Structure 1
Amino acid sequence: MSDVTSGGGRERDRDEEGRARSARPRDGLGRPLPYGAEGVERQPEGVPRSPDETVVEAQALLDAGRPFHAHEVFEDAWKSGPDAERGLWRALAQLAVGLTHAARGNVTGGARLLRRGASGVTAWTEATGRHLPYGIDTAALTTWATTLAAEVEGAGTPVDAAAHAPRLRDGEGR
């Protein structure tokens, strides 16, 4: 990361390609912390992974209570995968971000993103006829998301991300 002065005179963090990217450390839910604070290791962006590697790495992050970081893994698959699968990976990223917002206490945004992700998974499954892509139990995942969305709205309080992490594949995880 490097610092570059913007037109307003502020220093902006930049990555090696010169794009704006915050170098501030982040907590386990992806919230920025003050410079110099102890944060969690960030997920590298733009990492090519096989679909199986994507699912395994995202599940480990979800189980660790780091859904924001799992979202970044899904986002890499969404942006670099075949066009025919982008809807699936985008929907999975939305589910992870929905859990992130629910854990941060953003009840409305969390529930909305969980439902949007569930709808995306359902739409992709119906369009492709693939119900267990890469072993992902899409039916169980959409049930998890809609159930959690209702729980989040009903309770109105943050959820524990690790305790509410979904099982991407039946029988895997915790």
Structure 2
Amino acid sequence: MTENERDRDAEGRARNARPRDGLGRPLPYGAPGVERQPEGVVRTPGATVNEAQRLLDAGKPFHAHEVFEDAWKSGPEEERALWRGMAQLAVGLTHAARGNTRGGARLLLRGAGSIEAYGTGPHSLDVPGLAAWARELAERVDAGGKPVDAAASAPRLRGASRG
């Protein structure tokens, strides 16, 4: 690919086809990367939570964010803020793991604020636990300024969170 060419998807839309690492960072063309999440997948809420948890546990919060983004875009209007907030939590963890601790902390706090309106949590999500996890991690990364291990810092989406 030349410098002036753009990657395009099947519909002709610009799409970066470079391989990515586990935290979603672009790698050079031809480098081995982590398989990307397919975009636009419509899942049940339970399947969304299960797939996102699998990716978080594997240290792939960027990829989990894409799963939440699909739910945000395809779900019912009354749950869009929930799924957007969940995506913000995953992106916050991504930034914290990449070393952008200040940006990660901001996104974690924004995500916590977005999901708290959902009380104890629909779809078995532990909303209070996730909000507490996000605030604790935001405080820790903002104060410490060091990247975190994405898998070791990943939350439990259902039940008690770990951090």
Instruction: Give TM-score, length-normalised by structure 1.
Output: 0.89
Q: Which has the larger radius of gyration?
A: 1
Aligned residue type for 1:14: R
1:120, CA displacement in angstroms?
A: 0.3
Secondary structure in 1 matching 2:153: coil
Residue 110 in structure 1 maps to residue 104 in structure 2: yes
Please give the alpha-carbon distance, in whole angstroms, between the structure 1 residues aligned to 2:131 and 2:53. 16
Give how far 1:132 is off.
2.5
- The answer to whether 1:89 aligns with 2:83 is yes
Residue 29 of structure 1 aligns with which residue? 23
1:20 aligns with 2:10: no
Q: How does 1:14-93 map to 2 (within 5 A)?
A: 14-93=8-87
Partner-residue secondary structure (3-state), 1:14 = coil
Q: CA contact under 8 A between 2:18 and 2:26: conserved in structure 1?
A: yes
Deviation at 1:131, TM superposition (A): 1.6
For 2:35 and 2:107, locate their aligned partners in 1 and report how far apart those are by CA, in whole Å: 25
Gaps of 5+ in 2: none
Deviations 1:95-136 (A, max 9, x none): 0000000000001100000000000011x32xxxx4231000
Aligned-residue offset at 1:155: 1.1
8 Å CA contact 2:129, 2:160 repeated in 1: no
Q: Does 1:153 align with 2:142?
A: yes
The AA in structure 1 aligned to 2:70 is D
Identity %: 69
How far off its partner does 1:88 sit?
0.2
| 4+ residue runs over 2 A deviation | none
Whichever structure has more strand as a proportion of its residues is 1
- Distance apart, 1:172 and its partner CA: 9.1
Tell me, yes or no, if structure 1 residue 138 matches structure 2 residue 127. yes
Is contact 2:155-2:161 (8 Å) kept?
Answer: no
When normalised by structure 2's length, the TM-score is 0.95
SS of structure 1 residue aligned to 2:151: coil
